[in-house]
């Protein structure tokens, strides 16, 4: 972390491991049963990034691509889409034209889809920034390249199955342009039990509907992204990997038996995961539907990250809702926008030139892990063994490195108040849980308290105490169970979990 992350923070400034410094050389890029590579690998090693050609399939295991919809039709809907988008490539397309085009191939939504936010965007924003029709024309051209750019089926990352997809940034930009123009079939009705009820939304229709300052700022960032990827000089040339990791129950730790001591922890009251945590494994405080409300009104940690790095949004196309023992790791996403503020104060600030180096697979050294905390309608629920176990498992599956990577090559985890904002978790309990998961995963932690100095000091002290007493994960787990019992009797009058544990440790260290 840079100079900003200093005062009142962690005392020991020894550097935590980060990439590329701790990078272990990768094996040659190759496709196999667990890894789908959407580019041609031979060509890749000859210095070119071109789509891999496969045979298209239309089934429940793969993304249903618009160019193949409906299956076996005389005239696929893509013909209509193609005509509609081609019109937008002509000069002077207005928001009305965009609305007309989208409704042409989505006739079922003629009445219920609104484009209010797009109209407002064009009215409100200064002329220079707002070369709308030119940009729409470039985006339509990009969307139309879908049949050329995606020639291999994209597997759905389904529950209970670890699988990896590596895809080029150009392919992602094309898929996102299609999402913008709402071309993905079968993805507009989403309710429990519907075909894609277990998937996030991907078509952007929900974003266009609500005229709000939040939507406006999101659109500025997204249009900036599309502008960047449609210019020859700035379009990104590299790959991104999406990895769904599902931890089999036989590998779940038995928490009360874990003998590990706490790993290193650096606490920073200033700084952000995405900025000061560069090169580390950066935690996305996710929804089980990755991206959460990014295509709606949500605008907290996860949505902000997805808006800064829109390539993450494509995960919504193929990532089924995360189960308790699963996470999604994304390697190589690029940052396009600098933003400021949070929630209602969020603003698109300026273009971000990402100069992060790339690894041997041409992926930026940027690794993000989406882990969804429990959403506590009643915060008291979190002080139960069941909730604690669930959160430990979720953090552990996110933090755990592939077992064939030695720990000297494992960067620290950059995290913070995971699950403690929208999801109402207790920051002290969550910090302990993350420390325990990190200890078993043998990784250090950089913890950003988001300007909360007092929290930083308390956490630092707690960690020092745990370290000095050689606390093991198993013992701490048992103390947390004691706390749950104590809490269930005292509720709002209960002392906080740090005070409880400190007292137990100081009063009766021999009994620990």
Kindly state whether residue 420 participates in binding ligand AR6, applying the rule CB under 6 A: yes
Coil, helix or strand at residue 318: helix
Cis peptide before 369 (omega within 30 of 0): no
Q: Which residues contact 250 (CB under 8 A, 6 or more apart)?
A: none
Q: Which of 473, 469, 500 is nearest to 487 (CA)?
A: 500
Tell which one of 253, 279, 298, 332 touches ligand AR6 (CB under 6 A). Answer: 298
- Give least dist CB 304 to ligand AR6, A: 7
DSSP 342: -
Packing angle, helices 95-105 and 116-124, rounded to 10: 160
C-alpha span between 379 and 390 (Å, rounded)? 15
Smallest distance, Å, CB 392 to ligand AR6?
16
| Total residues at interface with ligand AR6 (CB under 6 A) | 24
- By CB atoms closer than 10 A (0-12, 13-18, 19+), residue 49 is middle
Nearest C-alpha neighbor of 119 from the set 102, 139, 98, 104: 98
Among residues 276, 302, 320, 326, which one is catalytic?
Answer: 302
Residue 419 within binding range of ligand AR6, rule CB under 6 A: yes
Cis peptide bond prior to 298, omega within 30° of 0: no
For the bound state, the minimum distance from the C-beta of residue 358 to ligand AR6, rounded and expressed in Å, comes to 24
Identified catalytic residue from 217, 284, 372, 444: 284
User: Which residue from 69, 242, 285, 399 is in contact with ligand AR6, where contact means CB under 6 A?
Assistant: 285
CB of 334 to ligand AR6, least distance (A): 17
Structure token digits, residue 461: 């002290």
**Which listed range, 48-56, 185-193, 251-259, 410-418, lies at the site for ligand AR6 (CB under 6 A)?**
410-418
Q: Which of 20-28, 137-145, 212-220, 421-429 is the region at the interface with ligand AR6 (rule: CB under 6 A)?
A: 421-429
Structure-block tokens of residue 83: 């005509």
Which x/- pattern over 427-466 shows residues binding ligand AR6 (rule: CB under 6 A)?
A: ---------------------x-x----------------
User: In a 3-state reduction of DSSP, which class is residue 331?
Assistant: strand
- By the rule CB under 6 A, 346 interacts with ligand AR6: no
Element (H, E) at 327: strand 326-331
Q: Smallest distance, Å, CB 452 to ligand AR6?
A: 7
302 is catalytic: yes
Give min distance, CB of 307 to ligand AR6, in A.
12
Q: Is 374 in the site for ligand AR6 (CB under 6 A)?
A: no
Q: Binding of ligand AR6 at residue 373 (CB under 6 A)?
A: yes
Q: CA–CA separation, 290 vs 274, rounded Å?
A: 17
CA gap 484, 497 in Å, rounded: 9
Closest approach of Cβ 79 to ligand AR6, in Å?
Answer: 37
How crowded is residue 47: how many other Cβ atoms within 10 Å of its Cβ? 6
Q: Taking contact as CB under 6 A, which single stretch among the options 145-153, 415-423, 434-442, 483-491 is the one that binds ligand AR6?
A: 415-423
Q: How far apart are CA 166 and CA 53, in angstroms?
A: 14
Whether 284 is catalytic is yes
345 Cβ neighbours under 8 A, 6+ residues apart? none
With contacts defined by CB under 6 A, name the span among 10-18, 187-195, 229-237, 282-290 that binds ligand AR6: 282-290
Q: Is 503 a catalytic residue?
A: no
Residues identified as active-site: 284, 302-303
Binding residues vs ligand AR6 (CB under 6 A): 272-274, 285-287, 292-293, 298, 300-303, 373, 416-423, 448, 450
């Amino acid at each position: 972390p840079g100079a900003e992350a200093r005062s009142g923070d962690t005392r020991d400034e020894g550097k935590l491991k980060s990439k590329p410094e701790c990078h272990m050389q990768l094996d040659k890029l190759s496709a196999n049963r667990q890894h789908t590579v959407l580019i041609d690998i031979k060509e890749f090693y000859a210095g070119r990034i071109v789509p891999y050609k496969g045979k298209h399939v239309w089934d429940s295991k793969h993304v249903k691509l618009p160019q193949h919809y409906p299956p076996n039709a005389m005239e696929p809907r893509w013909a209509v889409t193609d005509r509609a988008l081609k019109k937008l490539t002509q000069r002077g397309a207005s928001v009305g034209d965009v609305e007309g085009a989208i409704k042409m191939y989505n006739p079922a939504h003629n009445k219920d889809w609104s484009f209010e936010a797009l109209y407002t965007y064009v009215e409100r924003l200064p002329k220079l920034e707002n070369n709308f029709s030119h940009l729409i024309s470039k985006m339509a051209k990009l969307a139309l390249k879908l049949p050329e750019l995606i020639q291999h089926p994209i597997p759905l990352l389904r529950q209970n199955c670890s699988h990896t997809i590596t895809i080029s940034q150009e392919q992602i930009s094309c898929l996102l342009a299609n999402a913008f123009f709402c071309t993905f079939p079968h993805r507009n009705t989403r309710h429990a039990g519907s075909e894609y009820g277990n998937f996030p939304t991907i078509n952007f229709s929900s974003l266009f509907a609500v005229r709000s300052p939040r939507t406006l700022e999101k659109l500025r960032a997204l249009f900036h992204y599309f502008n960047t990827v449609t210019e020859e000089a700035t379009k990104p040339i590299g790959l991104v990997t999406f990895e769904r990791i599902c931890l089999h129950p036989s590998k779940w730790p038995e928490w009360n038996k874990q003998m590990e001591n706490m790993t290193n922890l650096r606490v920073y009251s200033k700084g952000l995961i995405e900025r000061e945590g560069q090169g580390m494994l950066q935690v996305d405080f996710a929804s089980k539907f990755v991206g959460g409300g990014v295509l709606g009104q949500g605008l907290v940690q996860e949505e902000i990250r997805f808006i800064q790095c829109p390539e993450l949004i494509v995960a919504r196309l193929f990532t089924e809702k995360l189960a308790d023992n699963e996470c999604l790791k994304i390697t190589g996403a690029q940052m396009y926008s600098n933003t400021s503020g949070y929630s209602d104060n969020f603003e698109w600030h300026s273009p971000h030139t990402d100069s992060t180096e790339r690894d041997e697979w041409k992926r930026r050294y940027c690794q993000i892990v989406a882990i969804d905390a429990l959403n506590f309608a009643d915060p008291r629920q979190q002080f139960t063994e069941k909730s604690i176990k669930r959160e430990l498992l979720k953090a552990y599956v996110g933090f755990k490195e592939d077992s064939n990577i030695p720990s000297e090559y494992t960067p620290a985890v950059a995290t913070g108040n995971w699950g403690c904002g929208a999801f109402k978790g207790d920051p002290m309990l969550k910090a302990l849980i993350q420390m325990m998961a990190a200890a078993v995963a043998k990784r250090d932690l950089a913890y950003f308290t988001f300007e909360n100095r007092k929290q930083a000091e308390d956490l630092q002290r707690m960690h020092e105490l745990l370290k000095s007493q050689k606390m093991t994960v198993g013992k701490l787990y048992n103390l947390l169970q004691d706390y749950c019992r104590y809490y269930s009797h005292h509720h709002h009058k209960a002392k906080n979990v740090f005070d409880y544990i400190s007292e137990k440790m100081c009063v009766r260290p021999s009994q620990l």
